[in-house]
Copies of this chain bind each other. A is one copy, B any other.
Amino acid sequence: MSLLVVGSVAFDAIETPFGKTDKIIGGAATYIGLSASYFTQQLNLVAVVGGDFPQSSIMMLEEHGINTEGLQIKENEKSFFWSGKYHNDMNSRDTLVTELNVLGTFDPLIPESYQDCKYLMLGNLAPKVQSTVIERLKKRPHLIVMDTMNFWMDVALDDLKHTLTLVDVLSINDEEARQLSGEYALTKAAKKILTMGPKFLIIKKGEHGALLFHKDQVFFAPALPLEEVFDPTGAGDTFAGGFIGYIASSQDVSFENMKRALIYGSAQASFCVEKFGVERLVNLSQNEINNRVQEFVQLVQFEMKLK
């Protein structure tokens, strides 16, 4: 029941109130893949890097059970690079540098051995690249989840709208949901977006949790109140990785199971922000994940006695 992850594998340089990093590895597919690797070992990656991307990092991905046969290496080019600086509240950031490099001409080639994939997670990429991946799969996966961002709403809205008609689950943040729908209230935004193609919509609200919408149903997964958010980079991708990883491992795409997947995604995201970059994600134990999920259960569970 393999999971295919497509997205950026890249370099980040991050500055937060707690410190700054040199170029470290990042990228949506890196976070998604590492996060999902704690749930499923049938994990295939499609991405592109330049000759500057360290072999040791590719090995690290493989050690997490991520098949890198579909990772294209353009020896004479440079990897995608993003640099950003977080403000004191950690909820907003300035992008300092974006160098597309190899990502500018990314042609997502699907190895033959990936063709049986049952679950597809499309990390944030040009919507045209995302739809190309779907077209190149001979058999439609059982569940297609996509992430996107406001940038594509600004510069490639028609492509984005087409890709939306091809997927099952859209995962975006609250501001993106407002921009895509033109509605401020998230329930209204969700109603509109659910007419655009996806049958399920996840709206991520950062430290305020995440909402899952499907037909008339809505589920809310809180974020854990944390003592310290060290670096929020990749939290949304890590969330998506936990979500799709849990679904792939449980092979259940019902709304009830997606609730659980949302909690696992939130748990994974709560680890991600504890250290810079992927540092915390590379060394998780199943026990830590289970304990963290139990914290979520205790945070929101109550027994109601109706009057």
Contacts and interface: CB of A to CB of B under 8 A. Distances in A.
Interface string A198-239: 000000010011010000011110100111110000000000
Contacts of A256: 302-303
Given A304-B297, A305-B260, A306-B293, A222 B225 contact: no
A219 B260 CA distance: 18
Contacts of A294: 306
A211 B225 contact: yes
The CB with the most chain B CB atoms within 10 A, among A211, A225, A227, A305, is that of A225
Contacts of A187: 225-227
Copies of this chain:
2
Contacts of A18: none
Given A205-B208, A307-B249, A302 B259 contact: yes
A55 interface: no
A89 interface: yes
Given A185-B226, A225-B218, A227-B185, A304 B293 contact: yes
Interface string A267-307: 00000000000000000001001100110011111111111
A70 B218 CA distance: 44
A194 interface: no
A263 interface: yes
A5 to B, nearest CB: 20
A40 to B, nearest CB: 11
5 contacts: A205-B208, A286-B307, A290-B306, A290-B307, A294-B306
Interface of A: 39, 88-89, 184-188, 205, 208-209, 211, 217-220, 222, 225-229, 249-250, 256, 259-260, 263, 286, 289-290, 293-294, 297-307
